[in-house]
Structure 1
């Protein structure tokens, strides 16, 4: 199967290893990975701040970049995938662009969603010994309705024990520009999240959304907690 890889700014600027491992994982699963070179920022930061009109150029560039073929589009960052999924709404006053946006959105999948629902597999032969807490990001569970797919994949990682925590699905406080505009509230939210994670005494914190992992991981680091933060692709590539 041929697939397009949507790298996202998060991978490009701060988590290049997630992008590399995603490509390697897809290839191991039998996919031929195509990288549309005209892709760029999807406009998520400005969209989250309410600058819809100002974001349209970025949206249209992203749409055009992925119209070169009709293959599935795979993205390892839930927040960016969720942003593109909402393009048809943002471009509703331009029917032709809205239709093009819908066509792209229909082909776009978050990584775990693609592996489980499109490739039909949950056991990737991964091995990682230890206890872990999985953080279900707001973008995945609330915007993309991706709740069970990451858990299904993690359940098949040999040696890994998933631990429940209090208020597991509560927001970590990142919320894009929310963490900047409402820094004090955001700070208290991530402190609470880390407190609940720490109570379980895990070896790992695992997530499928880069932005949340950066936020929670930063707090874990500042508190000196011995918890390794891992993107789910890091886990799925562990042997």
Structure 2
């Protein structure tokens, strides 16, 4: 299968290893990965902070960049949620039926959805000999409803010991602009999240959104507790040969 990769601007700028991991994983599973060079930001932050005209412009750019691609895969659950959930509202707000039609024509999947639901794969041949806990990000759980797909993939990783995260459903406090506009509340929320992560005794905390992992990982690094934050894709890309 030919797959178009949407890396997401945050990952592209700050966490390039994630996009490389998705590519390595999908190619290992026998698929051709293409990276449309016209992709930029999906417009999620602009939409949620009230810059609706700018969000519509970015949505038009996104749909143009991925036009003609049967399947689009992204390691960013929040960006997948923006395209699937917010684009219809962006199009209505912009009174742009053409954008609405273009958005309907783009099939965007978060990585774990694509692996489990489209490819029907749970064991991707990964090897990761570490104790890992999983944080379900708000957009992945509440908007996309990825449910236990990431956990099913993690349980199939050779050498991995999965530790249940207490109060897993609680937000880490990032929330995009929320962390900047409500810094005190955000810090209190991530302090709770980090406490729960450390309670698991995990070496690694993973998720399907690097934005949340940056928030959690930053708090963990300041505690110097030895727990790494890592995108799920990087775990699934691991093999015994690495």
| Deviation of the 1:50 alpha carbon | 2.2
TM-score scaled to structure 2, two decimals?
0.94
Could you tell me whether the CA contact under 8 Å between 2:135 and 2:205 is conserved in 1?
yes
CA distance in 2 between counterparts of 1:65 and 1:206 reads 29
| Deviation of the 1:166 alpha carbon | 2.1
Unaligned runs of 5+ in 2: none
Q: Does residue 95 in structure 1 map to residue 94 in structure 2?
A: no
Could you tell me whether the CA contact under 8 Å between 2:55 and 2:90 is conserved in 1?
no
In the other structure, the counterpart of 2:82 is 83
Q: Secondary structure at the match of 2:130?
A: strand
| Deviation of the 1:177 alpha carbon | 0.7
In the other structure, the counterpart of 1:6 is 6
Could you tell me whether the CA contact under 8 Å between 2:4 and 2:69 is conserved in 1?
no
Find runs of 4+ consecutive structure 1 residues off by over 2 angstroms: none
| Deviation of the 1:90 alpha carbon | 1.4
Q: Does residue 153 in structure 1 map to residue 136 in structure 2?
A: no
Q: How many residues get paired?
A: 236
Could you tell me whether the CA contact under 8 Å between 2:194 and 2:219 is conserved in 1?
yes
User: CA offsets, 1:161-180, max 9 Å, x none?
Assistant: 21123211110000011101
CA distance in 2 between counterparts of 1:62 and 1:127 reads 34
| Deviation of the 1:216 alpha carbon | 0.2
CA distance in 2 between counterparts of 1:222 and 1:188 reads 14
Unaligned runs of 5+ in 1: none
In the other structure, the counterpart of 1:22 is 22
Q: Secondary structure at the match of 1:54?
A: helix
CA distance in 1 between counterparts of 2:98 and 2:59 reads 13
Could you tell me whether the CA contact under 8 Å between 2:135 and 2:168 is conserved in 1?
yes
CA distance in 2 between counterparts of 1:96 and 1:125 reads 42
CA distance in 2 between counterparts of 1:41 and 1:117 reads 26
CA distance in 2 between counterparts of 1:154 and 1:53 reads 40
Question: Following superposition of structure 1 onto structure 2, how do residues 78-227 of structure 1 map, counting pairs within 5 Å?
Answer: 78-85=77-84, 86-92=86-92, 93-104=95-106, 107-227=107-227
RMSD: 1.1
| Deviation of the 1:54 alpha carbon | 2.7
CA distance in 2 between counterparts of 1:140 and 1:37 reads 26
CA distance in 1 between counterparts of 2:120 and 2:180 reads 39
CA distance in 2 between counterparts of 1:6 and 1:70 reads 11
